[in-house]
Chain A
């Protein structure tokens, strides 16, 4: 049995949006290392979330970043 082929475009379709709980966030910066495609850091080390949504190809990375945040300050909101 071959793996079902991924439909073209799924990797690029938006699946959610990253959001920060600013009160909880302490600027550890792990998230930016795990999803550099969507998260940068400001000059104080706090995350800057890109305007673009998380796409299918980035979903595993985004989920890993949400799980890795030591302050539980990162959420992935379904789009």
Chain B
């Protein structure tokens, strides 16, 4: 193999090109109804809803012992104005040393945001989601967004 091809191979397939697998609760389905009024008729909706602590479980593997970070973003298919989505890491998983960051809720935007980082393969890092900005101003409908977790 020529030095040129060897260099290209290392560039395109770096040892640290880790993989990420999503497990846990998977999709988060929330239903808003009159039961979510803060104190019955005359009051607005409770502003926020929080998912299970382990709504998502992320496995980061094939890291080759390298340092990595998980970034998060979202793509709205149909999303209500004023509603905001947040994510946080709720466990450190197993096998990695160490995992850091992401313990406080941070808002998920269309652009990548670093959620947390770590070193080496790491299994079962749990993530919790939160919705805020819920109100009666949101018309009855089904809303959908896709949250993307990416390891780099």
Q: Decide if A and B are genuine partners.
A: no
Contacts from A to B (Cβ < 8 Å):
none
